Amino acid sequence: MNVLLISQCHKKALTETRRIIDQFAERCGDRTWQTVITAQGLETLRKLLRKTARKNTAVACYWTHGKNNTELLWVVGNRNAFNLQGRVPTNRTQRNILRKTDEDSWQFHHSLQILSVFAALLHDLGKSSVGFQQKLQGHDSGLRGDPYRHEWVSMRIFQAIVGKAKTDAEWLGFFADFGSFEKQYPHWQQDIVKDGIDANSGSNYAWANLPPLAQAVGWLITSHHRMPFYDDNDGEENRSIEQAFEKHLKPVNGWVTNLYQSEIGDRQIAPFWHFESMVTDSRSWRKSISRWAERALNDRHLAKQQSFAFFDPLLMHLARMSLMVGDHTYSGLARHDKFGDKNFELYANTEKVSELTPAGTMRQRLDEHLVGVAKHAEKFSQLLPRITDSLPGIGEHKGFKQRTTKERFAWQNKAYELAVTLREKSQTQGFFGINMASTGCGKTLGNGRIMYGLSDTNKGARFTMALGLRVLTLQTGQEYQQRMKLADDDLAILVGGKSVIDLFNLNQTSAESGEQLPLNEADLNVYEQDQLQVFTQALLKNYGAGSESAIEFEDGYVHYDSPIEDHHLGSVIRDSKAKKLLYAPVVTCTIDHLIGATETARGGKFIVPMLRLLSADLILDEPDDFNLEDLPALARLVNMAGMLGSRVLLSSATLPPDMLVGLFEAYQAGRKIWNRHHGILTQPIVCTWFDEHAPLRVDCSDNAQFIAANDQFVTRRVARLEQGPIIRQATILPLEVTPQKNIHYHQLAQDILQGVQTLHSNHLQICPKTGRRVSFGLIRLSNINPLVELAQALYQSDGLDDIEIHLCTYHARQLLALRSDLENQLDQILNRNKELAVFDLKAVSSVLKKAQASNVIFIVLATPVAEVGRNHDYDWAIVEPSSMRSIIQLAGRVKRHRPEPVTTPNMLIMSTNIRALKQGSNLGAKQVPVFCLPGFETRENRLVRPAAILSSHKTEDILVNALGHINSAPRIKNPMPRVSLIALEHAVIGRVMNSPDGEINLVNGWWRTRSEAERPEISLANPYLFHLQKATPFRKGLPQTRYVYVENDEGEMQFENVDYLKQSENAKFKHIGFECKGPVQPWLNQQYGVVLERLAQQLETEDLVGLARRFGFVDLDSHRLAWNYHPLLGFWPD
C-alpha cells in the first residue's frame, strides 16, 4: 500500500510528528512523507500519532492507488487544518462570514456562561461557617456529617443578600459593589435564616419572593452536589416551579441535611450557622463577582426576566454541568496563590491524607477555590458549543455506504438512501425513527447505516447504540468490529462486569477456533485494554516489509480526530470508560452508561452521558424489553436526547403503539427546547418507519399526526405478517394439576411430559449416524422458585415410554462460571444454521451413542433469560403464560434459523400459570394479579393507577384466536376483535406512556406543562428536581449481596461474602441432595471444579482460588439469610 503523509503541525508538535513518522516513512520535504506500508503498520503509526497528539498536531494520511487516484484515509489532530477531501486552504480567516454561529446557534450561550460562573462564585459560601472550618481542622463534633450541608448554608447566605432586592437588577447591583451593599446593610448577616435554630425557619422557604434570576442561581447553589427533592410525604408530579420552590422545597435528609439516630441540640447545630469571618470579605472574590455581576446586568436576557420560564431545563442543567465540572476539576488541583487574597484565613478543602500529609493539612483557601472554580466553569461553558463539532467522527466509510446484494438485507439500501435525503432536514427539525424489521433481517447493522446516512459528512458520524443486556451489547459490538472493521479507538464497547466480559471473550475465542486454546490475561479483556504497545513492539521491526493488495484497504474510512484536548475537559474524562464513552465515534453500551443523564441524584455521573447525547445520535435497541416500571426513566432519557439535539432511532420488531407515542411526545418536547436555544422556528419532527419491505416518512407536529402515521405503517406491516408463512403455531396445554396454595409439582411434571411427547413426535429429526429420533425443546417458566420445584419433579419422574430425556436448568441465580459454561454450550448446540451439524457436537453425539431408547429429547428448562439475548433455535417450546410480549419473544427462539412453515403446533401454552394455580379454584380472577413479574397485570399503584386485573385467568379465555399464527402483529397493533391479555397489555402501556392531553402522570410530568384560566402554559418543577426519579427509579430491585464459592485454607469449599473474604458464610447455604432415578437425566451441567479446571487450563494458571474469586460468584437478595443450593439447580430460597 502506497501512502502519502502531510503534516500541518506547528511548534513542538511538528518536532514530535517528525520523530514518529521518520520511523515509518521517508521524507519528501519538510512536512511530507511517502512509503509503502502494511495495514497493521499504518494502524500502528496512527495510534502512535494519536497518543502524542497535542493542540498543534494535524497530520493527514492519503492512499495513492490506481491511476492518479489519491484518497484521504484519516486525519490525526486538528481536523480543521484539512477539508473533507484532505485539502489545505490557501487563505484563512477566523471571521465567520456567514455568521451562522453568531446568529442562529446557541442563542443563550453567554447567559449560560454568566449563570454558571456566578453560581460558582457563590456555591461554597457556607464553608465560611465555624463548624465547617473546625471540621477541616479535624475537630470531632461527634456528628456524622453536617446537620445542614454547606450548600444549604450557602443558599441561606445568598437569600439574606438578595432577599433585600425586589428585582434581579437590584441584587446584581449589590454584588457589583459589595462594599456599598455592606454600608447600606451593615448587619445583613443577622438576617441569615438558621434552620434548626430559628423558630420560623421551617416556614421560611429559601426561594420565596426571590426574583427569577436569583431563584435560578439558588437552584444551582443547592444542586451542585445533589439534586433537590421533596420530603417523602410531600410529593406531587403536577406542581409548578413557583409552587415547588416557594411553598414546598425545604431541607430534607439525603439532599442538604443528614439524619441522625437521635435528636441533636442547638449547641451542635449552632457552629454551622456561626461566622467569625466570611468569604465575602475577600478582595479577590469581590473583584471577580463584581465583574460578573456587571456582565449579568449587561446581558440581553438574564436580568430582564419577569418569570422563571426563561431558565428552561437545558439552560439550567448545562449551567449546573459547567459549575460541577469546574468544582470537580479545580478541587483536584494544587492551591493557586494568584486566585485569592494572600493569607486569607478561610479554607475550602484539605490535602489527601498520606504518609507525608497528616489529616487536617489545608489545601485551597476558600476565596481562591471560588475564583478558581469560576475560572474552570467559564472555560468549560465556552467549550460546550464546540463539543458537537469537535469530537472524533467517522467519514467516508465504505462499509456503511456500500449497497448490500443479499435479498434479505436489501431493505437496508432503501433505508440508507432515505436517510441521506433527510440529512439536512433532520439536523434542523430533529429525527425520530422506528425500525421494525423482523428478526434475522439485519436490524443491528441497518441501524448503523441509517445513522451514518443522517450524519454530516463534514463532521463524520457519531452514534450510540444502547441496549438492555450485557450479552447483547457485547454481541452487537463484536458484529460492528468484524463487519464494519472499526478500529479500537473508533468503537467503544462498554458493559458492566469485567468477569462477564472476560468469559464472553474467552468463549468467543474458543468457539471461533473450534477448540479450547490457552490464553493469557492480555488476550481476555480486549474491549477494555489498549493494544497500542502490543502492536508497536510487533510491527516496528517490519512495518514496511512488502506491499499489500488494495483489497485489504477497500473497507478503509476517514477518521476525524478531535481538536479538543483532554485538559479542556478536566475531571470529566479521568475515568477510562468515561473517556471512551465521550470520544469514540461509535459506542455500543448497556443503557446504564447513558441513563445517568437524567437518573443521577448526586455527584457528576450525569456529565459524560449528557455530553455523549449532546455530541452523538442515539439508537435504543429493543426498548420494549424493559419492564413497565423502567419506561418512565426511558422516556426521560429520550426527552433529554431531544433536548440535547440528538436524533433518535428505536429498534425492535415488537414496539407497541402507545409506547411509541409516549416516546415521540418526550422527544418532541425536548427538541422544542433545543430549537429555542438555537433560534430554530418550531417545525414538525422528521419521523421515519423502517422494516424489511418499504420505509415510510412523515413529518409529525403532534401526537395525532404521529398516531395516524404509525397506524398507517403498522396496518401495512401486519397485513404482510399475516400473509406470510406460519412458522410458529401454538395451542393450549391442558393442566390436570389441582389448583391450590401448595401445588403438586409431580402432577405438573406429568402434564408437561404429555405435552413434550406430543411436540417431540411432531417435530423430531432423525440422527443420520445413530437413527435416533431427536428433538431439542424449551420449557419456559416465569420464575426461578417454581422452575426448581418442577426440575426436581422431572428428574424424579418416571418419564415417558421409549424416550430418554436429558434436561438442563437455565436461570440467572447460578454461579457465573457455571452459567457462562452452560450458555457457551447452548450457543453452540442451538446454532442450527447447518441443520445436521448439531449431531456432530460431543455434548449431543455422546448422549445419542449411549442411548437405550429410540427417542432422545434434549430439554432446556429456563426462566425468561432464554427469551432475549440468545441466538438459539429450538424445535418446540412449552410456555407458562405471563404476557403476549413474552410469548412473542420466546417464539423467536423456535425455528429461529430454519424458517420452514409448520402444519402442526410447535408451541404449547399452559392452560394457566403457576401463580394462578396457587390462588385456588377461581385462579384469582378479578382479584389477584397473576400475569405479572413478568407481565402487565397489576394492583392499583401511582404509575398505572387503577388496578388492571383480568376477569379470567384461563388461557383459553384470554388468548382466544391469538395462537394460530404467532408473530409480532399483536404487539404492534391491538387486534380486533379484542383479545383479553393483549388488550390488557396495550391498555396498561397506554395509561403509563400515552395519557390524554393535559393529564399529568409520573411519566409525562417530566416535560408536559399544565394550564390555568389566566396562564395557558405553566412549566412544572419536575425537570429541576429528583422527585420523579425517586417515584419511578430505573431498574429498581432489592439490594444484592455477592457471594463467592471458593476453597478455604483447609481444602474445603465455602461460601464467602465478597466484602468479608475468608469468612465462611456456609451457615446461610444448605446443599440439597436428590437422585435422578429415571429416564430424565441431567445434561450439560458441569461440576464446578471441572469448569474451574478448564478455565485454569485456558488461562494457563494454577490459581484455582483466584479463578473462583473472579468467576465463581452469584448475586443474591441481601434480605434473605437462608438459601438452598445444588449445582444442577442453582440457588433458591430455603
Quick one: how far is CA 270 from the chain centroid? 44
Q: Is residue 333 part of a domain?
A: yes
How many domains is the chain built from? Answer: 2
Question: Within 10 A of 570 (CB to CB), how many other CB atoms are there?
Answer: 22
Q: Is residue 794 part of a domain?
A: no
Give me the residues paired with residue 696 across strands: 689
Residues of the chain whose pLDDT is less than 70? Answer: 92-104, 261-262, 508-568, 570-571, 573, 1013
What are the angstrom distances between the C-alpha of 451 and each of 410, 470, 480, 561, 665? Answer: 17, 22, 14, 19, 21
Say what the pLDDT of residue 102 is. Answer: 40
Q: Is residue 326 part of a domain?
A: yes
Alpha carbons 235 and 422: distance in angstroms, whole number: 43
Alpha carbons 937 and 930: distance in angstroms, whole number: 7
Say what the pLDDT of residue 261 is. Answer: 61
Question: Within 10 A of 546 (CB to CB), how many other CB atoms are there?
Answer: 9
Say what the pLDDT of residue 55 is. Answer: 80
| Residue type present at position 1067 | A
| Residue type present at position 464 | T
Cis check for the bond before 934: say yes or no (omega within 30 of 0): yes
What are the angstrom distances between the C-alpha of 699 and each of 456, 635, 686, 689, 703? Answer: 20, 21, 5, 11, 11
- Please enumerate in sequence order all residues whose Cβ is within 8 A of that of 262, keeping only pairs 6 or more positions apart, or say none: none
Alpha carbons 891 and 997: distance in angstroms, whole number: 36
Q: Is residue 216 part of a domain?
A: yes
Quick one: how far is CA 236 from the chain centroid? 27
Nearest to 272 by CA among 137, 125, 128: 128
Reading the block at residue 681, the C-alpha cell is 422556528
Of 339, 364, 387, the residue at which a domain comes to its end is 387
Nearest to 469 by CA among 892, 826, 869: 869
- Residue ranges of the alpha helices (H) in 496-630? 498-513, 521-524, 532-539, 576-583, 592-599, 607-615
- Please enumerate in sequence order all residues whose Cβ is within 8 A of that of 166, keeping only pairs 6 or more positions apart, or say none: 211
Q: Is residue 753 part of a domain?
A: no
CB 490 within 8 A of CB 586: yes
Say what the pLDDT of residue 985 is. Answer: 95
For residue 1024, what is the DSSP state? G
Report the predicted TM-score, pTM, of the whole model to 2 decimal places: 0.89
Say what the pLDDT of residue 1013 is. Answer: 67
Write 1090-1095 long-range contacts (CB < 8 A, 24+).
1091/817, 1091/818, 1091/821, 1092/817, 1094/516, 1094/821, 1095/506, 1095/817
Q: Is residue 215 part of a domain?
A: yes
Assign 1057 to helix, strand or coil: strand
Alpha carbons 1073 and 271: distance in angstroms, whole number: 63
CB 793 within 8 A of CB 766: no
Provide the b/e sequence for 947-972 (b: ≥16 CB within 10 Å): ebbbebbbbeebbeebbeebbbbbbb
Q: Which domain holds residue 122?
A: 109-387
Of 358, 387, 416, the residue at which a domain comes to its end is 387
Say what the pLDDT of residue 570 is. Answer: 64
Which position has the grid cell 467519514?
A: 395
Nearest to 249 by CA among 190, 308, 291, 164: 308
Q: Is residue 1098 part of a domain?
A: yes
- Residue ranges of the alpha helices (H) in 799-841? 816-829
Reading the block at residue 74, the C-alpha cell is 484519516
Give me the residues paired with residue 1115 across strands: 1042
Alpha carbons 479 and 472: distance in angstroms, whole number: 10
Quick one: how far is CA 102 from the chain centroid? 34
Of 364, 387, 410, the residue at which a domain comes to its end is 387
Alpha carbons 393 and 459: distance in angstroms, whole number: 6
Question: Within 10 A of 96 (CB to CB), how many other CB atoms are there?
Answer: 10
Residues belonging to the chain: 1134
Say what the pLDDT of residue 95 is. Answer: 52
Say what the pLDDT of residue 511 is. Answer: 53
Q: Is residue 607 part of a domain?
A: no
Alpha carbons 919 and 743: distance in angstroms, whole number: 10
Reading the block at residue 172, the C-alpha cell is 446584581
Q: What's the CA dihedral at 167, 173, 176, 177 to 10 degrees?
A: -140
